[in-house]
Amino acid sequence: MKDTMQQSTYRKHLSVILLTAGLVSGCASMFSGTSQRSPDAGNQRYPNLTAPYNKPYKIKGVTYYPMRSAAGYREIGHASWYGSESGNRTAMGTRFVPHGLTAAHKTLPLPSRVRVTNLQNGRHVDVLVNDRGPFKKGRIIDLSHGAAKKIGLHGVAKVKVEHLDEKISQK
């Protein structure tokens, strides 16, 4: 009878240990998935307005004030592309990937999603704005080389930039 009680106690302890191990490993996998996501991940929808990259900043004596919201943003102007900065960090702290679909803007909140339409050929691309720039006079947005290629932008071109809200991005 003593053996039976010891076996019963052993089974209870083993059950508790296995249950605890299962719960801990489930929690660990749940948290490890979120910590490995890049700030550029597509699931990041809303800008963190308290982040340093959304605070006023100064370049060459000019102070830029990032917008609190990109809702309704629409602008026509000139775009260029950049790609030689491969591996450098964006304003958000992620590595710049030239063949990605990203962009730089002086004042849109980071991150923002915008549609850029090349007005010369009507082609458009949806990009994640994750960097600051361009700081050349007369330019409103810098596209990664990958985004520029999708819309046939070589050098500088006239474009329309529109913020993508939830309704547009679900189409």
pLDDT higher than 80, residue 39: no
Average pLDDT, the chain: 79
The alpha carbon of residue 125 and the mean position of all alpha carbons in its chain are separated, in whole angstroms, by 15
Q: What is the pLDDT confidence band of residue 38, given thresholds at 50, 70 and 90?
A: very low
pLDDT higher than 50, residue 169: no
The alpha carbon of residue 147 and the mean position of all alpha carbons in its chain are separated, in whole angstroms, by 15
Q: Residue 166: its pLDDT value, please?
A: 60
Q: How far, in Å, CA of 169 to CA of 113, rounded? A: 9
Q: Residue 9 to residues 16, 17, 19: CA-CA distances in angstroms? A: 11, 12, 15
Read off the tokens for 79. Answer: 């775009």
Phi, psi for residue 23 in degrees, rounded to 5: -65, -45
Q: Which residue has the higher pLDDT, 50 or 109?
A: 109
Question: Do 87 and 95 meet the contact criterion of CB atoms below 8 Å apart?
Answer: yes
pLDDT higher than 70, residue 26: no
Which residues neighbour 111 within 8 Å (Cβ) at sequence distance 6 or greater? 39, 40, 44, 47, 92, 128, 129, 130
Q: What is the pLDDT confidence band of residue 11, given thresholds at 50, 70 and 90?
A: low
pTM passes above 0.75 = no
Q: How far, in Å, CA of 32 to CA of 37, rounded? A: 9
Per-residue pLDDT tens over the stretch 57-80: 999 999 999 999 999 999 999 999
Q: Identify the CATH assignment for 52-169 out of 3.40.50.300, 1.25.40.10, 2.40.40.10, 2.60.120.330.
A: 2.40.40.10
What percentage of residues in the chain have a pLDDT greater than 90? 63
Q: How far, in Å, CA of 141 to CA of 107, rounded? A: 10
**Which is it for strands 102-104 and 124-131: parallel, antiparallel or unpaired?**
parallel
Per-residue pLDDT tens over the stretch 77-125: 999 999 876 678 999 999 999 999 999 999 999 999 999 999 999 999 9
Let me know how long the chain is.
171
Phi, psi for residue 127 in degrees, rounded to 5: -130, 160
